[in-house]
Structure 1
Amino acid sequence: MNNNIQSQAVTKYIRLSTHKSRRVLKQITGKNCNEAQLILKFMPYRACKTIIKTLNSALNNISKENSNKIDTKRIMIKEAFANKGPKLKRFQPRAQGRAFPIQKPTCHITIKLEKK
């Protein structure tokens, strides 16, 4: 009998670059949820705020699937990754009527949890 319970949460079109999100997600992969929340709370990066929301959403998803009380100490982050989203294309005005293109990146953050 397989006793593993899994859940995931996806946050899409976040105005962060994938590179900056991945450096935070790499830190919490493989940790339990309580430890990951503590790490994210004290990290100085902007991506942490969004990742905490995604992690809480995944925790809520796991508790919705199972009506009984879930022990968060036993829930591990199985996978945490960021994929590229579409780029917002803008122009910055420059001297003598020129325009300089700006590409604002977006990303999709996915967190998968597993209870052993």
Structure 2
Amino acid sequence: MQVRALARGVRMSPQKARLVVDAIRGRAAVEALAFLDTSPKAASEVVAKILRSALANAANNFSLNTDGMVVVSATADKGPTLPRRFRPRARGQAGVIEKKTTHITVVVSNDIEPTRRGYKRKPA
């Protein structure tokens, strides 16, 4: 059974959050939490909190055993941008400095085996 948890409007760039989310996709939940706890990225704290929430949803709402859970999918989608201030540009123009937000979703399941994480070789 698949169980999900999500956080909407996280004040973080989606590009930076995707680096962390891509690293945990397909891993066992325990292994993903160990990775997130040791990762120096700022997004790892938020993603770890969402993953713990998904495991708690599985245990409390559906009475599932969380030992064999696997991160089936994890996404970091673009949220609304908040225009904050202006930066002067060339020829009297102004550029907007935007604060980006992210919607992060983590789905865990106990029906799927974890995948072996390896590095793909780039063609020469």
Q: TM-score, with normalisation over the residues of structure 2?
A: 0.80
Flag the 1:60–1:100 CA change in 2: closer, same or farther, 3 A. same
> Which one of the candidate residues 89, 98, 110 is aligned to 1:115?
110
> Which one of the candidate residues 49, 64, 67 is aligned to 2:63?
67
> Which one of the candidate residues 18, 34, 37 is aligned to 2:33?
37
1:21-60 maps to which residues of 2 (within 5 A)? 21-60=17-56
1:6, distance to aligned residue in structure 2 (A): 1.3
Structure 1 or 2: larger helix share?
Answer: 1
Q: 2:101 corresponds to which residue?
A: 106
1:91, distance to aligned residue in structure 2 (A): 1.0
Q: TM-score, with normalisation over the residues of structure 1?
A: 0.85
Q: Which runs of no fewer than 5 residues in structure 2 stay unpaired?
A: 112-124
**Aligned length, in residue pairs:** 109
Name segments (4+ residues, structure 1) moved above 6 Å.
none
**Identical aligned residues as a percent:** 33
One-letter amino acid of the structure 1 residue matched with residue 110 of structure 2: K
- C-alpha distance in structure 1 between counterparts of 2:28 and 2:97, whole Å: 39
Secondary structure of 1:34's counterpart equals helix
**Two-structure CA RMSD over aligned residues (Å):** 2.0
